[in-house]
């Protein structure tokens, strides 16, 4: 028998985590070590959303991809 | 954390089929809209077919979306934004990794991925490895040349994500890899069936090491369908003394299916991450019934940089009608990928799948693991020459083996072969994907 899982509570926490990390990324605009690590955290968060939030169909993210101008150029 | 939990995702992997179909529709709508909005290539393709995101309302609507073939991707690439061209859905700055297909069926296709895509690749592999019993206590040896081919890269990252200890066996030669497994007591491994059989042979014949005593207890295969061919799986399991699991994936798709620990005789499709449709190549109709083969058209729901939407993979598969004892509701494709639409060829008027020959050769005791098939034409007569190796300990049974081989081939493929028995070690060995099937007929027509 599978233990019960509180998906709504999981999703609530995912939403607040996304909000916090997006804010970190914004604050790190002039702080590459913060911005790039926040970007990676957002990718990990997206995986949790795929596993949890998509099931509830309550997309936690505002946009699916956000461009960052820092870093390499074409 | 509960390491006894059998599912990587206990919700999605056991979702009732109806709920799964609803989720798939919503996820298809999202990736279709993404491709339509961000890729000039996809938008042009869909506009020419008269279909837009708001037209996708039911599962039937999905079937109106044009398929994408590898040849189309080749045409798009090599242009700006270089080298990916108009199918790229994100700014070039956001691409963090390049891969390319192996080029088995022609010019390689480039595959850009963002970091999020790469996390997604590893996530797909986490479903695979967790279902096969990989846990943090495992030490996983990966004997693969880390390079531009995706191969086991994502398996490596997924094993790390699970908490396993990963040993990258990159530039080492085969003997050094065997010694490293022995030295570190690695208990899990990933590789192509061809390479792992060759590795076991090297250990046994050239190093005097019995690979089944090295302590490897599980192996995950990819790259070829061998681990789903019963006789090849049996040889691998006997050689290594390990459970051998198959998985199927592709550079331009992702890791879309996996064999779970219950080994149900096929692969679960990860239906939370992919939509797999089986299409009858003659009529174009979608096959839902078990037991009818068709070609796979596949969509990856969450891949962004270069989306995979209704990709015509040419893989030949069929649904199994049996529920898997593991309890997953993800459907199973029986026998894994049984061939590729462009590999299955007509010889003497009979359809021949190279995997059927492999099943026979590796099922006969006394024959080595290697073989080679050459289809040729002299005048109007088509011939199939099959070269096999007899093991040194079976040399005195050559006549019997030859007769058994001919009988089994006729039974399984309805064809007669010109057999050539070779000495052990004379046929080519392969490091990654083997090329054992040669069709010389087309060269003579050109």
CATH code at position B134? 3.40.50.12780
Q: CA of B119, closest CA in chain A: separation in Å?
A: 7
A1: in domain? no
For residue B282, the model assigns a pLDDT of 87
Confidence of residue A62 (pLDDT cuts 50, 70, 90): very low
Confidence of residue B101 (pLDDT cuts 50, 70, 90): confident
Do residue A50 and residue B115 have CB atoms under 8 angstroms apart?
no
For residue A58, the model assigns a pLDDT of 45
Handedness of CA B216, B222, B223, B229 (dihedral sign): positive
Say if residue B206 is in the same domain as residue B352.
Answer: no
Interface of A with B (CB under 8 A): 2-3, 5, 7, 39-40, 42-44, 46-47, 50-52, 54-55, 57, 64-65, 67-69, 71-74
Q: Tell me: pLDDT of B179 over 80.
A: yes
Do residue B273 and residue A50 have CB atoms under 8 angstroms apart?
yes
Say if residue B324 is in the same domain as residue B389.
Answer: no
Of B98-107, B236-245, B405-414, B419-428, the range with the lowest mean pLDDT is B98-107
Say if residue B108 is in the same domain as residue B199.
Answer: yes
Average pLDDT, chain B: 93
For residue A73, the model assigns a pLDDT of 32
- What percent of chain B has a predicted confidence (pLDDT) above 90? 78
Domain boundary pick from B307, B340, B373: B340
Using CB atoms, pick whichever of B90, B119, B272 lies closest to residue A43: B119
Going by DSSP bridges, is the β-strand pair B188-191/B218-221 parallel, antiparallel, or unpaired? parallel
Residues B21/B271, Cβ–Cβ less than 8 Å: no
Q: How many folded domains does chain A comprise?
A: 1
Q: Tell me which residue of B69, B95, B100, B68 sits closest to B81, measured CA to CA.
A: B95
A48: in domain? yes
Token code pair at residue B263: 């080994």
Residue B240 is part of which domain span?
Answer: 1-340
A45: in domain? yes
Q: Tell me: pLDDT of B120 over 60.
A: yes
Q: Tell me: pLDDT of A66 over 60.
A: no
Cβ count near B87 (within 10 Å): 24
Say if residue B117 is in the same domain as residue B253.
Answer: yes
Using CB atoms, pick whichever of B10, B92, B272 lies closest to residue A2: B10
Q: Where are the beta strands (DSSP E) in B291-380?
A: 294-300, 311-317, 332-334, 339-340, 345-347, 350-352, 367-378
User: Which helix (H) or strand (E) element contains residue B110?
Assistant: strand B110-114
Say if residue B326 is in the same domain as residue B353.
Answer: no
In tens, the pLDDT along B5-30 reads: 999 999 999 999 999 999 999 999 99
A15: in domain? yes
Long-range CB pairs of B48-53 (<8 Å, 24+ gap) are B53/B29
Using CB atoms, pick whichever of B89, B92, B120 lies closest to residue A74: B92
For residue B197, the model assigns a pLDDT of 93
Do residue B14 and residue A2 have CB atoms under 8 angstroms apart?
yes
Q: Between these two residues, B343 and A65, which has the higher pLDDT value? A: B343
Query: Region B398-423: what's the mean pLDDT?
Result: 91
A66: in domain? no
In tens, the pLDDT along B52-91 reads: 999 999 999 999 999 999 999 999 998 999 999 999 999 9
Domain boundary pick from B294, B321, B340: B340
- If DSSP states are collapsed to H, E and C, what string results for B193-233? HHHHHHHHHHHHHHHCCCHHHCCCCEEEECCCCHHHCHHHH
Say if residue B306 is in the same domain as residue B391.
Answer: no
Q: How far apart are CA B236 and CA B243, in angstroms?
A: 9
Q: How far apart are CA A61 and CA B111, in angstroms?
A: 25
Query: Region B179-203: what's the mean pLDDT?
Result: 95
Q: How far apart are CA B431 and CA B275, in angstroms?
A: 32
Domain boundary pick from B311, B340, B369: B340
Say if residue B354 is in the same domain as residue B304.
Answer: no
Q: Tell me: pLDDT of A74 over 80.
A: no
Give me the residue label for tokens 């846990």: B135
Of B134-143, B214-223, B392-401, the range with the lowest mean pLDDT is B392-401
For residue B445, the model assigns a pLDDT of 52
Do residue B119 and residue A39 have CB atoms under 8 angstroms apart?
no
For residue B355, the model assigns a pLDDT of 82
For residue B444, the model assigns a pLDDT of 61
Give me the residue label for tokens 């398996």: B155
A2: in domain? no
In tens, the pLDDT along A1-39 reads: 566 899 999 999 999 999 999 999 999 999 999 999 999
Q: Does B98 touch chain A (CB under 8 A)?
A: no
Query: Region B122-142: what's the mean pLDDT?
Result: 98
- Selected for mutation to probe chain B from A5, A48, A55 (highest B CB count within 10 Å) is A55
For residue B348, the model assigns a pLDDT of 83
In tens, the pLDDT along B236-293 reads: 999 999 999 999 999 999 999 999 999 999 999 999 999 999 999 889 999 999 999 9
Residue A46 is part of which domain span?
Answer: 7-56
Say if residue B336 is in the same domain as residue B351.
Answer: no
Q: Please give the model's pTM, rounded to 2 decimal places.
A: 0.87
Say if residue B9 is in the same domain as residue B153.
Answer: yes
Say if residue B30 is in the same domain as residue B5.
Answer: yes
Phi, psi dihedrals of residue B337, rounded to the nearest 5°? -80, 115
Q: How many folded domains does chain B comprise?
A: 2
A63: in domain? no
Say if residue B126 is in the same domain as residue B210.
Answer: yes
For residue A71, the model assigns a pLDDT of 33
Using CB atoms, pick whichever of A2, A7, A50 lies closest to residue B123: A50
Q: Which string of b and e fits B119-157 if b means at least 16 CB within 10 Å?
A: bbbbbbbbbbbbbbbbeeebbbbbbbeeeebbbbbbbbb
Say if residue B270 is in the same domain as residue B396.
Answer: no
């Amino acid at each position: 028998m599978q233990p019960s899982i509180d998906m709504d509570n999981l999703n609530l926490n995912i939403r607040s985590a996304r909000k916090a990390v997006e804010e970190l990324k914004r604050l790190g605009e002039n702080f590459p070590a913060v911005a790039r690590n926040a970007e990676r955290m957002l990718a990990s968060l997206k995986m949790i959303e795929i596993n949890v939030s998509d099931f509830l169909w309550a997309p936690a993210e505002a946009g699916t991809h956000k461009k960052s101008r820092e870093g390499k150029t074409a | 954390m509960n390491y006894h939990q059998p599912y990587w995702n206990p919700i999605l992997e056991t979702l009732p089929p109806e709920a799964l179909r609803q989720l798939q529709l919503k996820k298809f709508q999202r990736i279709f809209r993404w491709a339509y909005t961000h890729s000039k290539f996809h938008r042009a393709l869909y506009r020419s077919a008269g279909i837009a995101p708001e037209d996708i309302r039911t599962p039937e609507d999905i079937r109106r979306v044009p398929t994408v073939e590898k040849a189309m991707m080749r045409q798009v690439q090599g242009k700006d934004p270089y080298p990916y061209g108009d199918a790229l859905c994100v700014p070039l700055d956001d691409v963090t990794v390049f891969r390319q297909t192996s080029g088995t069926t022609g010019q390689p296709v480039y595959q850009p991925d963002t970091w999020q895509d790469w996390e997604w690749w590893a996530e797909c592999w986490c479903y695979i490895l967790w279902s096969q019993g990989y846990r943090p206590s495992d030490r996983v040896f990966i004997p693969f040349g880390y390079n531009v081919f995706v191969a086991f890269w994502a398996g490596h990252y997924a094993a790390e994500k699970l908490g396993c200890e990963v040993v990258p066996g990159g530039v080492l030669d085969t003997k050094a890899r065997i010694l490293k497994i022995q030295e570190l007591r690695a208990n899990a491994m990933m590789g192509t069936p061809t390479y792992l059989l060759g590795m076991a042979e090297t250990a046994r014949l050239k190093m005097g090491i019995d690979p089944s005593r090295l302590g490897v207890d599980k192996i995950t295969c990819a790259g070829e369908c061998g681990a789903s061919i019963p006789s090849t799986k049996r040889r691998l399991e006997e050689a290594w003394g390990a459970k051998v699991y198959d998985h199927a994936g592709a550079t331009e798709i992702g890791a879309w299916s996996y064999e779970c620990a219950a080994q149900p005789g096929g692969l679960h499709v990860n239906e939370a991450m992919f939509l797999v449709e089986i299409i009858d190549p003659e009529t174009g109709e979608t096959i839902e019934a078990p037991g009818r083969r068709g070609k796979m058209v596949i969509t990856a729901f969450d891949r962004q940089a270069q989306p995979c939407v209704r990709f015509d993979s040419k893989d030949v598969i069929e649904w199994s009608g049996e529920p898997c004892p593991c309890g997953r509701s993800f459907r199973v494709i029986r026998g894994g990928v049984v061939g590729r639409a462009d590999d299955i060829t007509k010889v003497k008027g009979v359809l021949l799948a190279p995997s059927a020959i492999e099943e026979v050769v590796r099922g006969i005791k006394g024959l080595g693991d290697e073989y080679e098939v050459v289809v040729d034409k002299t005048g109007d007569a088509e011939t199939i020459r099959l070269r096999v190796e007899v093991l040194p300990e079976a040399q005195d049974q050559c006549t019997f083996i030859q007769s058994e081989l001919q009988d089994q081939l006729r039974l399984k493929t309805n064809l007669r072969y010109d057999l050539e028995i070779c000495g052990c070690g004379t046929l080519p060995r392969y490091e990654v994907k083997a090329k054992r099937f040669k069709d010389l007929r087309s060269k003579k027509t050109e």
